[in-house]
Structure 1
Amino acid sequence: MSAARGQTVPVPPSGARAVSAAWAWPVLLAAAVWLGLFYNLGAIPLFDVDEGAFGEATREMLVRGDYVSTWLNGQPRFDKPILIYWLQAASVRLFGLDEFALRLPSALAAMAWIAAIHTFTRQVVDRDTARAAAFIAATSAGVVVVGRGAIADALLNLFLALALFDVYRELVDPRPRWRRRAFFWIALGVLTKGPVALLVPAAASLLAFGLQRRMAAWWRAVRDPAGWLILLAVAGPWYALEYAARGDAFLAGFVMRHNVERFLVPLQGHAGSPFFYVPALLLLMLPYTGLLLAALPGIRRLHATPLDTLLWCWFLFVFGFFTLAGTKLPHYLLYGATPLFIQMARQRHALRSRVAALWPALVPAAAVAALPFVLRLAAPGARNAYAREALGRTDMFGPAWHAQAVALLACVVLLVLWPGRPATGGPWPRLVAAALACSYAIGGLLLPAAAELQQGPVKRAALLARQAGWPVRSWRINVPSFSVYRRAVTPATSTPRPGDVILTRSDALDGLPSPVRVLYREGGVLLVHVER
Structure 2
Amino acid sequence: MSAPAPAGKLSRNEWALLALVLLALALWRLGGAPLFDVDEGAFSEATREMLSSGDWLHTTLNGEPRFDKPIGVYWLQALSASAFGVGEFAMRLPSALSGWLWALVLAQFALPRLGRQVAVSATVMLATSLGVLIIGRAATADALLNLLLTLTALDGWRWLSSDSKPALRRAYAWMGLGLLTKGPVAIIVPGAALLLWLFCSLPWRAALARLGRAMADPVAWLLMLGIAVPWYAYALHRHGQAFIDGFLIRHNLARYTSPLEQHGGSIGYYLVVVPLLLLPWAPLLAGVLARVKRHWADPLQRYLLLWAGFVIVFFSLSGTKLPHYALYGATPLVLLMAITLAEAGTTMRAALTVSLLLLLALLCGSALAMGWWLPQVTHPLYKAVLEGQHASPWLAWLSGLAALAVLFLMTQLNRPGWTLALRSGVSALVIAVVALGVALPWWGDLLQGPIKRAAAIAAERNEPAVQWGLHQPSFALYRGQSTPRRAPHDGELALVRLDQLPKLIAQAGGRYIPLYAERGYALILWRAAAPAATSVAQAAP
Q: How does 1:51-66 map to 2 (within 5 A)?
A: 51-66=40-55
1:404 aligns with 2:409: no
For 1:294-333, what per-residue CA distance to the aligned partner results, in whole angstroms no more than 9, with x for missing partners?
1233332354222112111111111111111111111111
Instruction: Report if aligned partners of 2:356, 2:428 keep a CA contact under 8 Å in 1.
Output: yes
Instruction: Report if aligned partners of 1:146, 1:154 keep a CA contact under 8 Å in 2.
Output: yes
Secondary structure, aligned partner of 1:527 = strand
Q: 1 or 2 for the larger relative contact order (CA 8 Å, sep ≥6)?
A: 1
Letter matched to residue 112 of structure 1: L
- Distance in 1 (CA, whole Å) between partners of 2:437 and 2:228 is 37
Q: How does 1:383-422 map to 2 (within 5 A)?
A: 383-394=378-389, 397-418=391-412
- Distance in 2 (CA, whole Å) between partners of 1:66 and 1:29 is 36
1:73 aligns with 2:73: no
Task: Indicate the residue corresponding to 2:492 in structure 1.
Answer: 500
* Alignment match of 1:337 (pick from 318, 330, 343): 330
Task: Indicate the residue corresponding to 1:100 in structure 2.
Answer: 89
TM-superposed CA distance for 1:452, in Å, is: 1.4
1:346 aligns with 2:342: no
User: CA, structure 1 residues 14+102, in 2 after alignment: closer, same or farther (shift >3 Å)?
Assistant: closer
Instruction: Report if aligned partners of 1:48, 1:451 keep a CA contact under 8 Å in 2.
Output: no
Secondary structure, aligned partner of 2:440 = helix
User: CA, structure 1 residues 191+337, in 2 after alignment: closer, same or farther (shift >3 Å)?
Assistant: same
Q: How does 1:164-183 map to 2 (within 5 A)?
A: 164-183=153-172
Bigger Cα displacement from structure 2, 356-365 vs 179-188: 356-365
* Alignment match of 2:245 (pick from 228, 252, 270): 252
For 1:108-130, what per-residue CA distance to the aligned partner results, in whole angstroms no more than 9, with x for missing partners?
11111111111111132223322
- Distance in 1 (CA, whole Å) between partners of 2:422 and 2:450 is 42
- Distance in 2 (CA, whole Å) between partners of 1:279 and 1:194 is 26
1:30 aligns with 2:26: no
- Distance in 2 (CA, whole Å) between partners of 1:528 and 1:502 is 5
Letter matched to residue 436 of structure 2: G
* Structure 1 unpaired stretches of 5+: 1-12
Task: Indicate the residue corresponding to 1:6 in structure 2.
Answer: none
Q: How does 1:267-416 map to 2 (within 5 A)?
A: 267-353=260-346, 354-394=349-389, 397-416=391-410
Instruction: Report if aligned partners of 1:56, 1:480 keep a CA contact under 8 Å in 2.
Output: yes
Task: Indicate the residue corresponding to 1:5 in structure 2.
Answer: none
User: CA, structure 1 residues 169+28, in 2 after alignment: closer, same or farther (shift >3 Å)?
Assistant: closer
Letter matched to residue 472 of structure 1: A
Task: Indicate the residue corresponding to 1:438 in structure 2.
Answer: 431
* Alignment match of 2:455 (pick from 419, 442, 462): 462
Task: Indicate the residue corresponding to 1:208 in structure 2.
Answer: 197
TM-superposed CA distance for 1:387, in Å, is: 1.3
- Distance in 1 (CA, whole Å) between partners of 2:110 and 2:227 is 28
Q: How does 1:189-208 map to 2 (within 5 A)?
A: 189-208=178-197
Task: Indicate the residue corresponding to 1:523 in structure 2.
Answer: 519
- Distance in 2 (CA, whole Å) between partners of 1:77 and 1:352 is 51
Letter matched to residue 465 of structure 2: V
* Structure 2 unpaired stretches of 5+: 530-541
For 1:404-449, what per-residue CA distance to the aligned partner results, in whole angstroms no more than 9, with x for missing partners?
122112222334443x659667532321222112212432233222
- Distance in 2 (CA, whole Å) between partners of 1:509 and 1:360 is 44
Q: How does 1:14-163 map to 2 (within 5 A)?
A: 27=17, 30-35=20-25, 37-163=26-152
User: CA, structure 1 residues 356+25, in 2 after alignment: closer, same or farther (shift >3 Å)?
Assistant: farther
Secondary structure, aligned partner of 1:468 = coil
Letter matched to residue 330 of structure 2: A
Instruction: Report if aligned partners of 2:4, 2:11 keep a CA contact under 8 Å in 1.
Output: no
TM-superposed CA distance for 1:373, in Å, is: 4.1
Letter matched to residue 350 of structure 1: E
User: CA, structure 1 residues 421+107, in 2 after alignment: closer, same or farther (shift >3 Å)?
Assistant: closer
For 1:476-522, what per-residue CA distance to the aligned partner results, in whole angstroms no more than 9, with x for missing partners?
111100011000000111x4444332111122111232532221111
Instruction: Report if aligned partners of 2:463, 2:492 keep a CA contact under 8 Å in 1.
Output: no
- Distance in 1 (CA, whole Å) between partners of 2:112 and 2:11 is 20
TM-superposed CA distance for 1:21, in Å, is: 11
User: CA, structure 1 residues 222+447, in 2 after alignment: closer, same or farther (shift >3 Å)?
Assistant: farther
1:509 aligns with 2:501: yes
For 1:169-199, what per-residue CA distance to the aligned partner results, in whole angstroms no more than 9, with x for missing partners?
1111113222111100110011000000011
Letter matched to residue 317 of structure 1: F
User: CA, structure 1 residues 120+25, in 2 after alignment: closer, same or farther (shift >3 Å)?
Assistant: closer
- Distance in 2 (CA, whole Å) between partners of 1:201 and 1:368 is 32
TM-superposed CA distance for 1:467, in Å, is: 1.2
- Distance in 1 (CA, whole Å) between partners of 2:131 and 2:467 is 32
Structure 2 length-normalised TM: 0.90
TM-superposed CA distance for 1:246, in Å, is: 0.5
- Distance in 1 (CA, whole Å) between partners of 2:429 and 2:415 is 20
Task: Indicate the residue corresponding to 2:482 in structure 1.
Answer: 489
Secondary structure, aligned partner of 1:512 = helix
Instruction: Report if aligned partners of 1:322, 1:328 keep a CA contact under 8 Å in 2.
Output: yes
Instruction: Report if aligned partners of 1:48, 1:454 keep a CA contact under 8 Å in 2.
Output: no
TM-superposed CA distance for 1:526, in Å, is: 1.0
Instruction: Report if aligned partners of 1:315, 1:339 keep a CA contact under 8 Å in 2.
Output: yes
Instruction: Report if aligned partners of 1:474, 1:504 keep a CA contact under 8 Å in 2.
Output: yes
Instruction: Report if aligned partners of 2:95, 2:136 keep a CA contact under 8 Å in 1.
Output: yes
Bigger Cα displacement from structure 2, 506-515 vs 151-160: 506-515
For 1:260-283, what per-residue CA distance to the aligned partner results, in whole angstroms no more than 9, with x for missing partners?
000011111111111111121111
User: CA, structure 1 residues 288+385, in 2 after alignment: closer, same or farther (shift >3 Å)?
Assistant: same
TM-superposed CA distance for 1:23, in Å, is: 6.2
Instruction: Report if aligned partners of 1:29, 1:134 keep a CA contact under 8 Å in 2.
Output: no
User: CA, structure 1 residues 429+311, in 2 after alignment: closer, same or farther (shift >3 Å)?
Assistant: same
- Distance in 2 (CA, whole Å) between partners of 1:208 and 1:301 is 16
Secondary structure, aligned partner of 1:364 = helix
Identity in percent: 40
Bigger Cα displacement from structure 2, 339-348 vs 441-450: 441-450
Letter matched to residue 494 of structure 2: I
- Distance in 2 (CA, whole Å) between partners of 1:248 and 1:264 is 20
Structure 1 length-normalised TM: 0.91
Secondary structure, aligned partner of 1:526 = strand
CA RMSD of aligned residues (A): 2.3
- Distance in 1 (CA, whole Å) between partners of 2:303 and 2:416 is 32
TM-superposed CA distance for 1:470, in Å, is: 3.1
- Distance in 2 (CA, whole Å) between partners of 1:14 and 1:241 is 53
